[in-house]
Amino acid sequence: MGLRITKTTIAALLITTGLVLGGCQSLQHEPDNRLYMQLGERSGIADVVEDLLYLIVADERINHQFKGMNVAQFHRNLTDQLCELSGGPCTYTGREMRELHADMGITATQFNALAENLILAMEKNRIPTAAQNKLIKRLLPMYPDIRHL
Amino acid sequence: MTRLVAQPVKKLWAGTLVTLGLLASPVVMADVGSRIWATGGVTTIEGSAGGGLVPWAMLGSYASDEEWGGTLALSRAEVDDYSLAVTGAGLNWNNRIEVTVARQTLDLDSLVFTLKNGFGLEQDELNQDIFGVKVRLVGDVLYSPWGQWSAGLQHKRQRDFTVPNAIGARDDSGTDVYFSGSKVFFAAVFGRNLLVNGTLRGTRANQGGLLGFGGDLNNGYEVMAEAGVGVFINRQWLVGAEYRQKPDNLSFAREDDWWDMFIAWVPDRRLAVTAAFVNLGDIATLEDQQGIYLSLQGSF
Ligand code: HEM
């Protein structure tokens, strides 16, 4: 009797585990927009990019690079890019990253300055630490393109 | 200098005032480098940037590739029968090369009696100077998929060799060579960033050099493995642990590996405060030395 119950329990556990795992797997097939939601959707991201712009303009280490840029276009394109990257329903239509930054000769100092400003802009908009880290993680592959390495 | 060394506590306070003075100066504030918060590590007991006991591949201060940076640090370890005070300073050029100096003062406390009765020696402290250089060979701890890799030297000079000599150490100076890799994995632990460090060190030092270099059991270089891991709770708080393998060159007393568990608070680039629980094992016949480590670092 005791043995049967144990066997039944194990079977039940196995089935439940199978269902849960299966469920998780099927969930993963849907687009994962959790990060997008944590960033406050497109409007939340647009606020972060706006604050980022203010910080860039005030930052002596990098503002010279941005002289004469089209602010509205930069704001729209970067917002779309971060939106798409975080799993949101946007499509980036701006210029290609490597080509765009190629002639700027962006140094490690300047890249760090921009990363710092992005973090500060996210903090100002109360983006949770985990969401900040996840967004940066998704931006990392662009590092060699931006630095033209 | 001797007078100052004899009063590590006074020196600690004087240094603290100097450090805080620097921190409060707006001119200096403006010059703190551009690397991301806490990526300079803190100052190890040997002066090189890293954790508390293990040098990491990151260079000290926040200097990025177009900048100079510097650090000043005061640290103290209080274990059961000893206390160690460290004053360290470092310079970083372009996040490429780090040059450091450190002075260690080990108060022998309880060992004084052993030395007097067993060896007829009257000595209550050991001093050592460490001159360090570390070069970032390749990579960036945050941005490179393969992390950051550095190599360094620590040239150590005993200032009081009588005791190490009496217990069998061969030399009063020595040079450690190390190779280090560090990498931050973003959003790796519950969305938190994970820092991983590995270091290989070639050394002949007994207890880091405080008990001299080489000995009767072994007199040559040996390769020791050291490691550290930390999790950034957020950008101001890092908690972690370190492990440091050690040689065992002297028959006089067994030497153990070291480990610690630390928490570091980096409110901004100018200041880092580190507290740790350290276990230094057996030291010069006195068993199971554990206690508290505290370190204050200013960057400019
Ligand atoms: C991960 C880091 C970075 C990302 C994801 C990024 C992304 C972008 C995007 C999406 C645009 C707009 C493209 C368009 O309008 O077609 C842009 C433009 C620009 N970026 Fe970056 N960027 C990064 C780092 C940097 C850095 C470090 C600098 C210089 C310090 C920089 C300087 C510029 C400039 C000057 C423009 C062009 C403005 C204009 O003329 O329209 N970027 N970037």
Question: ipTM of the predicted structure?
Answer: 0.87
* Model confidence pLDDT, tens digit, residues A43-62: 999 999 999 999 999 999 99
Q: Is A115 in the pocket of ligand 1 (CB under 6 A)?
A: no
Chain B nearest-CA distance from A113, in A, is 6
* B39 to A140, B80, B140: CA distances (angstroms): 16, 32, 10
Mean pLDDT of B197-213: 97
CATH number at residue B31: 2.40.160.40
Comparing CA positions, the residue from A110, A74, A65 lying closest to residue A92 is A74
Would you say residue A27 has pLDDT above 80? no
CB-nearest partner of A109 from B66, B142, B144: B66
Please write the tens of the pLDDT for every residue from A67-92: 999 999 999 999 999 999 999 999 99
Facing B34 at nearest CB: one of A109, A134, A140? A109
Residue A26 has pLDDT above 90, yes or no: no
- Candidates A112, A130, A131; nearest CB to B34: A112
Lowest mean pLDDT among A128-132, B110-114, B230-234: B110-114
Q: B266: which 2 tokens? A: 């980096």
Sort out which chain A residues have CB atoms less than 8 A from B64's CB and list them: 107-109, 112
Percent of chain B with pLDDT over 70: 90
* C-alpha of residue A101 to centroid of ligand 1, in Å: 7
Determine which of A3-7, A145-149, B279-283 has the lowest per-residue pLDDT on average.
A3-7
Which atom, in ligand 1's list, is nearest to the CA of A61? 30
- Nearest atom in ligand 1 to the alpha carbon of residue A81 is 10
A60 φ, ψ to 5°?
A: -60, -25
Tokens of B290: 């554990």
**Model confidence at B23: pLDDT above 60:** no
Q: Is the pLDDT of residue B25 over 80?
A: no
Q: Is A102 helix (H, G, I), strand (E, B) or coil?
A: helix
A139 CA distance to ligand 1 centroid (A)?
Answer: 12
Nearest CA in chain B to A109: B64
pLDDT tens by residue, B226-283: 999 999 999 999 999 999 999 999 999 999 999 999 999 999 999 999 999 999 999 9
Residue B232 structural domain: 2-299
Nearest to B230 by CA among B201, B260, B258: B260
Determine the average pLDDT of the residues in B144-148.
97
What does each C-alpha distance from B298 to A99, B69, B131, B269, B275 come to in angstroms? 40, 11, 19, 8, 15
Task: Kindly calculate the radius of gyration of chain B based on its CA atoms and give it in whole angstroms.
Answer: 19
Residue B214 predicted with pLDDT over 50? yes
Q: Can you give the pLDDT at residue B110?
A: 78
Mean pLDDT of B210-215: 96
Residue in A closest to B189 by C-alpha: A130
Q: What is the mean pLDDT of residues B107-117?
A: 82
List the residue whose alpha carbon is closest to atom 18 of ligand 1.
Answer: A74
Which of A59, A74, A140, A148 for mutating ligand 1's site (highest number of atoms within 8 Å of CB)? A74
Interface of A with B in 1-60 (CB under 8 A): none
By Cβ distance, the residue of A112, A130, A137 closest to B36 is A112
Split into its structural domains, chain B has a count of 1
β-bridge partners, B291: B79, B278
pLDDT at residue B4, rounded to an integer = 39
**CA distance to partner chain A, nearest, from residue B143 (Å):** 6
Q: Whose CA is nearest to atom 22 of ligand 1?
A: A146
B2 pLDDT tier (thresholds 50, 70, 90): very low
Q: Are strands B97-107 and B83-93 parallel, antiparallel or unpaired?
A: antiparallel
pLDDT over 70 at B11, yes or no: no
On whether the CB atoms of residues B43 and B75 are closer than 8 A, the answer is yes
Which of the two residues, A9 and A122, has the higher pLDDT score? A122
